[in-house]
């Protein structure tokens, strides 16, 4: 227990010193710029193989962990995108898709910068190497989104068609959510491995705690914020037409904060185990962005 308390105190000091909540707000801004190009890319790719309208209906089933007004904002954008998607593959489509992926990866690049500071690392990689990694993570995120859609939306229909029985169907339907959380933790663990500019990549042992913690914090924070906005929030009354945008950015801030706390936890555990040096003359995340 004493070791756990020491780790938590060290984590608190790191979060304060790096001003992580403030940087999570910066990540939320970049995420807003990245999420809509990512949605367009997802709808465009989906339209090559199926009816784009299906992705809208399937995405709506993932809105349970989001505040209602933020979900409505995404839903309205999805409706507009579906109406514009032609599903045709051509040179213009490919060029447009590459541009969208490039824009979406900008937010991932900023996430890399924040994780670098959590690990006390100076960025020495070239612009093209960083952007290549960011594009890879962006594509992986799109693949994860497609898999999430399959688990949440397609799985129930497939189970019903197989006629496995109500008990087994109920068990499998419930298990898809823990499986989705496990996939998210695996994805975060991979990001924690590739994002920092360091010699050698850490083993799963040193990225798993932060990945699990970040996933749990994101789920709990999202559900708590959804509960708050549904019952006590007054964003619409305060901000008017901008209320949904404010709620969406707050939810993105919670998401970014969860990911950065996971990165800081991994650093604290690895540093206290003697695998990483204690840096001197540290600069905060805000100083790095200045």
Give mean pLDDT, residues 262-285: 74
Q: Quick one: pLDDT at residue 268?
A: 93
Q: Quick one: pLDDT at residue 289?
A: 42
pLDDT, mean over the chain? 77
Q: Quick one: pLDDT at residue 112?
A: 92
Give mean pLDDT, residues 100-121: 85
pLDDT surpasses 90 at 216: yes
Name the one residue in this structure whose structure tokens are 């901008």. 242
Give mean pLDDT, residues 238-247: 79
pLDDT in tens, 51-87: 555 655 655 655 566 676 776 676 676 666 655 555 5
pLDDT tier for residue 102 given thresholds of 50, 70 and 90: confident
Q: Using CA atoms, how far apart are residues 287 and 17, in angstroms rounded to an integer?
A: 11
Between the alpha carbon of residue 227 and those of residues 64, 68, 150, 221, the distances in Å are 11, 9, 26, 10
Q: Where are the domains of the chain?
A: 10-289
Residue 135 buriedness (CB in 10 A; 0-12 / 13-18 / 19+) = middle
Instruction: Tabulate helix, strand, coil % of the chain (nearest 5).
Output: 80, 0, 20
Give mean pLDDT, residues 130-148: 83
Comparing 170 with 249, which gets the higher pLDDT?
249
pLDDT tier for residue 173 given thresholds of 50, 70 and 90: low
pLDDT surpasses 90 at 257: yes
Lowest mean pLDDT among 24-33, 94-103, 256-265: 94-103
Give mean pLDDT, residues 133-143: 86
pLDDT surpasses 50 at 1: yes
Q: Quick one: pLDDT at residue 172?
A: 63
pLDDT tier for residue 290 given thresholds of 50, 70 and 90: very low
């Amino acid at each position: 227990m004493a070791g756990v308390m020491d780790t938590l105190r060290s984590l608190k000091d790191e979060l304060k010193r790096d001003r992580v909540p403030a940087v999570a707000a910066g990540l939320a801004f970049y995420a807003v710029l990245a999420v809509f190009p990512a949605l367009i890319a997802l709808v465009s790719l989906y339209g090559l193989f199926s009816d784009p309208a299906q992705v809208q209906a399937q995405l709506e089933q993932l809105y349970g962990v989001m505040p209602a007004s933020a979900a409505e904002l995404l839903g309205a954008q999805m409706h507009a995108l579906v109406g514009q998607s032609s599903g045709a593959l051509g040179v213009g489509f490919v060029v447009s898709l590459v541009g969208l992926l490039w824009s979406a990866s900008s937010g991932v690049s900023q996430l890399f910068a924040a994780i670098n500071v959590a690990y006390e690392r100076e960025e020495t990689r070239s612009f093209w190497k960083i952007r290549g990694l960011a594009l890879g993570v962006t594509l992986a995120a799109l693949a994860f989104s497609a898999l999430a859609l399959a688990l949440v939306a397609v799985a129930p229909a497939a189970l019903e068609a197989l006629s496995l029985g109500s008990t087994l169907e109920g068990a499998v339907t419930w298990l898809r959510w823990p499986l989705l959380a496990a996939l998210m933790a695996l994805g975060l663990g991979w990001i924690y491995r590739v994002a920092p500019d360091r010699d050698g990549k850490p083993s799963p042992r040193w990225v798993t705690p932060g990945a699990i913690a970040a996933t749990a914090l994101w789920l709990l924070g999202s559900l708590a914020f959804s509960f708050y906005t549904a019952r006590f929030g007054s964003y619409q009354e305060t901000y008017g037409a901008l209320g949904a945008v404010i709620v969406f950015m707050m939810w993105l801030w919670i998401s970014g904060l969860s990911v950065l706390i996971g990165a800081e936890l991994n650093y604290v555990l690895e540093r206290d185990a003697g695998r990483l040096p204690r840096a001197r003359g540290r600069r905060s995340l805000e100083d790095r962005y200045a």
